[in-house]
Chain A
Amino acid sequence: MRRTPVRGDGLLSAAAAVAVAAALVLALVVAPQDGVQGVAQRLMYVHVPAAWVAYLAFATVLVSSVLYLVRRELRWDRYAQAAAELGVGLTALAIALGMLWGRPVWGVWWTWDARLVTTAVLLLVYVAYLGVRRTADDPHVAARRSAAVGIVAFLNVPVVHFSVVWWRTLHQPPTVLGPEGSPPIHPTMAWALATGVVAFTLLAVLVVRRRVARLGAEAADPAAVPPGREAPPVVTVVPRAGR
């Protein structure tokens, strides 16, 4: 696959690799096993970072959308698109990991409590946002519509986060970003979680920068065939002459 070079990516990739390695060791080896939930609790070290970095991605969509409307530069629209695509993927990941965690601990893969329902709605809303992005051929018309939806859609994020505080749910209330001061979590577990969040964030920044660079290159040179849509290489099979 052809790569779009982005300045500073080398350093960022190295930092991400170190953070991922550290997060894996902390989450799987160093962090103690949870007294109640056992080994399944270790899913927290990926489930929570996936959810938080999804929030961060949607916040990026919000800020980029506002910046587009203020400056009318398509660069910000590309940031919004890249962040929304990543946010959708991470929300789906958080749901999938949450299901894997819920089955052994709660006893069910899925249940209709407020946290789970609002998260599913969040995912669908941003899938719809990605659809809205492609409803106009004029890039500025598409960017304007997307920016409006990208700003309003962010209302879902606080609803998801506070669903476990506002309403009575099966999902536990937040441990770290909760209303109370000191989080009820063992310090080593908190470090493993923090390292996981750093790793996910660095990877997210890397992915969004690459995607924005690629979208920019495509916009600058519309004649260039986007990757994945090239015609497959023609393979000609010439029968060998029989001996």
Chain B
Amino acid sequence: MNPPTARRRALSLRLLVVVGAVAAALALLGVSGLADTLVYYRTPAEVLAEVPAEDERLRLGGLVQAGSLERVGPEARFTVTDGVASVPVVYLGALPAVFAEGQGAVVEGRLGSDGVFVGDLVLVKHSNEYQPIGEAG
């Protein structure tokens, strides 16, 4: 006995939903660019060892060097370091409230031919430590 057509139609609709969800998951992986995602940012040592093309957009990550932050008008200048190498950064825009010297940061932008990294987005990378003020280790 054949199932009623309406039921069959409902079944194929369900299959469509399933296939759609799987396809969406794969598409998501594709869009994100798996390689970029697995290594979210490059360290200053990596950037200096393999200098990117001038039009290549990349993420530079590390610690904001203590004493390096200066604000000139709307412009912020600071140095990102990994303890081995460091790259000076210039960023035009408002820094996130949590941004601070000695803390982690990831900057999106391009490395200029003068060796200064021109950022257009600054993200704060915070540690996995949670302590009240004064007890921060």
A residues contacting B by CB (< 8 A) are 32-38, 41, 44, 104-108, 111-114, 117, 120-121, 124-125, 127-128, 131-132, 134-137, 167-170, 172-175, 178, 184-186, 189
Q: Would you call A32 and B132 a contact (CB within 8 A)?
A: yes
B106 within 8 A of A: yes
Given A127-B21, A131-B21, A132-B18, 15 extra CB contacts under 8 A: A35-B132, A36-B127, A38-B97, A38-B98, A41-B130, A107-B121, A113-B40, A124-B21, A124-B22, A124-B28, A135-B14, A136-B11, A168-B40, A170-B40, A184-B129
Q: Are A113 and B21 in contact (CB under 8 A)?
A: no
Q: Which chain B positions have C-beta within 8 A of A33?
A: 132-133
Report the Cα distance A114→B33, complex, angstroms: 10
Q: Mark B32-54, 1 if CB is under 8 A from A, else 0.
A: 11001111110000000000000
A75 CB, min distance to chain B CBs, angstroms:
23
B76 within 8 A of A: no
Please tell me if B5 contacts chain A, counting CB pairs below 8 Å.
no
Contact B133–A107 (Cβ < 8 Å) = no
User: Does residue B84 face the partner (Cβ distance < 8 Å to A)?
Assistant: no
How many residues on the B side are at the interface (Cβ–Cβ under 8 A)?
A: 47
The reply to whether the CB of B85 lies closer than 8 angstroms to some CB of chain A is: no
In the bound complex, residues from chain A placing their C-beta under 8 Å from that of B21 are: 124-125, 127-128, 131
Given contacts A35-B136, A170-B106, A170-B125, contact A137 B3 (CB under 8 A): yes
A189 touches B123 (CB 8 A): no
- B64 CB to nearest A CB, Å: 13
CB neighbours (8 Å) of B72 from chain A are none
| Contacting residue for B14 out of A38, A117, A131, CB 8 A | A131
Point out the residues of chain A lying under 8 angstroms from B17, CB to CB: 131
A170-B123 contact, Cβ under 8 Å, with A35-B133, A35-B134: yes
Min CB gap A46→B, angstroms: 15
A41 to chain B, nearest CB (A): 6
The answer to whether B135 has its CB under 8 Å from any CB of chain A is: yes
Tell me if A124 and B37 are in contact (CB < 8 A).
no
User: Does B89 sit at the interface, judged by CB under 8 A?
Assistant: no
* Cβ A36 vs Cβ B126 within 8 A: yes
Judge whether B29 and A117 touch: CB under 8 Å: yes
Kindly list chain A residues whose C-beta atoms are within 8 Å of the C-beta of B123.
Answer: 106-108, 111, 170
- Binary CB contact string for chain B from 88 to 109 against chain A (1 if under 8 A, 0 otherwise): 0000000011111001001000
Query: Which A residues are in CB contact (< 8 Å) with B98?
Result: 36-38, 104-105, 107
> For the complex, is B7 an interface residue (Cβ under 8 Å from A)?
yes
Q: A117-B29, A125-B25 given as contacts; is B129 within 8 A of A175 (CB)?
A: yes
Nearest A residue to B127, CB-CB: A172
Given A117-B28, A125-B25, A167-B40: A185 and B14 interface contact (C-beta under 8 Å): no
Asked whether B137 is an interface residue with its Cβ less than 8 Å from the other chain, the reply is yes
Q: How far is the CB of B72 from chain A (nearest CB, A)?
A: 21
Q: How far is the CA of A132 from the CA of B39 in the complex (A)?
A: 33
A117 to B31, CA, bound (A): 10
Known: A121-B29, A131-B21. A172 touches B128 (CB 8 A): yes
Q: Is B116 an interface residue (CB 8 A)?
A: no
15 sample A-B contacts, Cβ–Cβ < 8 Å, listed by A number: A34-B130, A36-B100, A36-B126, A38-B98, A104-B98, A105-B96, A108-B123, A111-B123, A117-B29, A124-B21, A134-B14, A170-B106, A170-B123, A172-B127, A185-B131
Contact of B36 among A38, A112, A132 (CB under 8 A): A112
| B15 at interface by CB-CB < 8 Å | yes
